[in-house]
A and B are shown apart, each in its own frame.
Chain A
Amino acid sequence: MENKADTGKILAVITTKRDCVAGGAPIFVADTKEEFVRKTFVLEKILDGMAHEIDPDIMIIVRHS
């Protein structure tokens, strides 16, 4: 919609396992499962991207359109 350049990119990574992720996208580390879900929820709304579960400890936010 407003920013086509971001389409299909990982906008953020949320994890409870700090060691499992690295790279260019902003990484948000959560200590508990509740915090993990809450952070994902908030980031999904703010970034207007979809939250996808890679595995139970890692979520990524991706904008598709």
Chain B
Amino acid sequence: MDWHVYNSAVIIGVLIGFLTRLRLLEIDYRQYPTYPHGYLSHLALGMIASALGAVAVPALLKKDYTAVTFLALAAQQFRDVRNMERETLAKLDEMELVPRGASYIEGIAKVFESRNYLVIFSAFMTSLSVVLTKTWWVGAVVGGVLILGAGLLMSGQVIKDIANVYEGKLTFEGPNLYVDDIYLMNIGLEDNQKRILQHGIGLIIEPNSPAAVVTISNIGQRQAILHDVSAILGVYRDTGEPALVPIAKRDLNDGRLGLVLLPQEKNVGRAIQVVNFVPVLESAVRRPSQFSVRDTEGKRGQA
């Protein structure tokens, strides 16, 4: 068999695609994916994705344009990845003491889907560069750059970028729990009040722009914050103890968010750090500042 440049293009393309997937598949503090089988299924799908991307270039150059339809098939396949992730996480969420919430799950599922597209892209570009230059090592270099770039591309904003987190004081006025001046909830039993004061940490998240106010007020975003803190610092909580629930309420006047957290270990510095690095959910982001009054006036004039 003659060694054709297409062969090396496909091999390097697949390899780079697979490495991209591997690079994007990190175990992180969010505790997902920590399941070995989850790993395997994502790596297998990553392999398929990179094969698709790598093979597309030779197929197109051979004027085999129907090969493009395979990419459409792939898109369908990866949409199923999103469904699979969503279903798994939603099921697991029912058994969490502090659930992730639907928005967070949706965000994770979307990330898993888009990672596969990124894999296709890097496999495609690598394969293309090998075919164009007819040298295999150019593909390796392009691939290396793409792998590094992919990591940057997939890391989004965190709470720290849009808000300022600091400690607030937990106080009771009668049965009402406050963190500084933000009302949180009504705790009837004195026993629970004592436990909250003893184990609870009060935090305030102060958004630093009007857009951040909207983002932080999103219920899914708040639940994500509570879940992440609980996942990392543990929870002082059990079933049948409904009063000991971490909660986030906003100050309606200025959009600050008041949090009471009940971690297993009471470490304020660590809790602040954790909240700082909670990802900003895509679904919670709004850009009210991009709404321009002049634009709407123009449109109204035309109508």
Contact = CB atoms under 8 A, between A and B. Distances in A.
A30 interface: no
Residue with the highest number of chain B CB atoms closer than 10 Å, among A44, A49, A50, A65: A50
Query: How many interface residues does chain B have, given as a range?
Result: 10 to 19
Interface string A45-60: 1101111110000011
Interface string B156-183: 0000000000000000001100000000
B188 interface: yes
A44 B239 CA distance: 11
Contacts, number: 48
Contact of A37 (B94, B174, B190, B243): B190
B242 A50 contact: yes
Q: What is the predominant secondary structure among interface residues of chain A facing chain B?
A: mixed
Contacts of A44: 188-189, 242-243
6 contacts: A41-B191, A44-B242, A44-B243, A45-B241, A59-B189, A64-B245
A64 B242 contact: yes
Contacts of A15: none
Interface of A: 1, 37, 40-41, 44-46, 48-53, 59-60, 63-65
B135 interface: no
Contacts of B239: 1, 48
Given A41-B189, A59-B188, A52 B240 contact: no
A53 B185 CA distance: 11
B192 interface: yes
B186 interface: yes
> For A40, A53, A60, which residue has the most chain B Cβ atoms within 10 angstroms?
A53
Closest 7 CB pairs of A and B: A51-B188, A53-B175, A53-B188, A52-B186, A50-B242, A59-B188, A45-B240
B242 A40 contact: no
Given A50-B188, A64-B245, 20 more contacts: A1-B239, A37-B190, A40-B189, A44-B188, A44-B189, A44-B242, A45-B240, A48-B242, A50-B185, A50-B187, A51-B187, A51-B188, A52-B186, A52-B187, A59-B188, A59-B189, A60-B188, A63-B242, A64-B242, A65-B242
